[in-house]
Amino acid sequence: MIRIVIVDDQELVRAGLRTLAESEGDIAVVGEAATGSDAVSLVRRERPDVALMDIRMPGLDGLEATRRIVADPELRDVRVLVLTTFDEDEHIAAALRHGASGYLLKDIRPGDLRHAIRVVAGGEALLSPAVTRKVIASYTSVRTRPELLGTLTDRERDVLREIALGRSNAELAARLHISAATARTYVSRLLAKLAARDRAQLVVLGYESGLVRPGELSALA
């Protein structure tokens, strides 16, 4: 059973998310919170597998709550899955830097929500192509840091670039003519070499390194 908590300042939204999440029997909501401060306390008490986190809340917002949860060594097994709307895209990169393992838009379909929870609970990261585009767009005026690539081989750079463009393991394996198992191995190496928490942070690092440029946004269409 996957244990989750739901964090949103609107009671009706929390109720709807609870119903959707629990509808197939393998996900259980073990708590709800309406503020970032309450979310941090709730996560420390319940130690869920996933915290489904809104961003805009009164008082402590979801970004700071995410940072505090991820920074707490006692909560290292808790994954944060952020919920947002399109007008909040300026916060996407910040949430990923703070350690969020995924980013969902609030118009997500019920089945996709449950899938995202399962993916993140399993230790993977989840970014939709639309969100990946916004991550890259948010860096159009940020100075890149090519030194991030210093420890990587040419092949690892190729893999990082595909990840930053939003490719799944299967997609990057096909594009680079390697097996799915080899793709997973490369992803694991990149996580270790770049000290990234998960695939979501690799997307940010891929752009910061200069491997992906704003003009390549069309590749994500």
Q: What angle do CA 66, 67, 70 make, to 5 degrees?
A: 80
**What are the pLDDT digits (tens) for 116-172?**
899 889 877 776 656 666 665 555 445 556 677 888 999 999 999 988 877 778 888
Distances (CA, A) of 34 to 60, 93, 168, 214: 10, 23, 33, 36
Tokens of 60: 């402590």
Residue 45: is it exposed, middle or buried by C-beta count within 10 angstroms (0-12/13-18/19+)? exposed
User: Which region among 40-49, 86-95, 201-210 has the lowest average model confidence (pLDDT)?
Assistant: 86-95
Q: Is residue 136 part of a domain?
A: no
pLDDT above 50: residue 24: yes
The candidate with the shortest Cα–Cα distance to 111, out of 119, 99, 123, is 119
One domain for residues 117 and 150: no
User: Which region among 2-11, 29-38, 111-120, 128-137 has the lowest average model confidence (pLDDT)?
Assistant: 128-137
pLDDT computed for residue 170 by the predictor: 83
One domain for residues 159 and 115: no
Confidence of residue 18 (pLDDT cuts 50, 70, 90): very high
Q: Is residue 75 part of a domain?
A: yes
One domain for residues 122 and 205: no
pLDDT computed for residue 219 by the predictor: 45
**What are the pLDDT digits (tens) for 64-83?**
999 999 999 999 899 999 98
String of DSSP letters for 59-102: SS-HHHHHHHHHH-GGGTT-EEEEEE-GGGGGGHHHHHHTT-SE
One domain for residues 62 and 163: no
Q: Which domain holds residue 63?
A: 2-127
Looking at per-residue pLDDT, the higher value among 1 and 93 belongs to 1
Domain endpoint, select from 127, 155, 177 = 127
pLDDT computed for residue 86 by the predictor: 55
* Sequence-ordered list of residues with C-beta below 8 angstroms from that of 158, at least 6 positions apart, any chain: 176
* Sequence-ordered list of residues with C-beta below 8 angstroms from that of 140, at least 6 positions apart, any chain: 214
Tokens of 220: 């994500």
Q: Is residue 134 part of a domain?
A: no
Please state the rounded mean pLDDT for residues 192-206. Answer: 80
In whole angstroms, what is the distance from residue 87 CA to residue 99 CA? 21
8 A C-beta contact, residue 126 and residue 119: yes
In whole angstroms, what is the distance from residue 165 CA to residue 206 CA? 8
Tokens of 15: 């109720």
pLDDT above 60: residue 215: no
Q: What rounded mean pLDDT belongs to the chain?
A: 84
pLDDT computed for residue 152 by the predictor: 92
pLDDT above 80: residue 15: yes
Domain endpoint, select from 66, 98, 127 = 127
User: Which region among 31-35, 143-147, 157-161, 175-179 has the lowest average model confidence (pLDDT)?
Assistant: 143-147
H helices, E strands: number in the chain: 10, 6
Q: For residue 182, give the CATH number of its domain.
A: 1.10.10.10
pLDDT computed for residue 173 by the predictor: 92
One domain for residues 46 and 73: yes
Please provide residue 132's backbone torsions phi and psi, each rounded to the nearest 5 degrees. Answer: -60, -40
One domain for residues 6 and 95: yes
> For the chain, what is the domain count?
2
One domain for residues 64 and 106: yes
Residues in the chain: 221
Q: Is residue 137 part of a domain?
A: no
Q: For residue 104, give the CATH number of its domain.
A: 3.40.50.2300
* Most confident range, picked from 55-59, 84-88, 132-136: 55-59
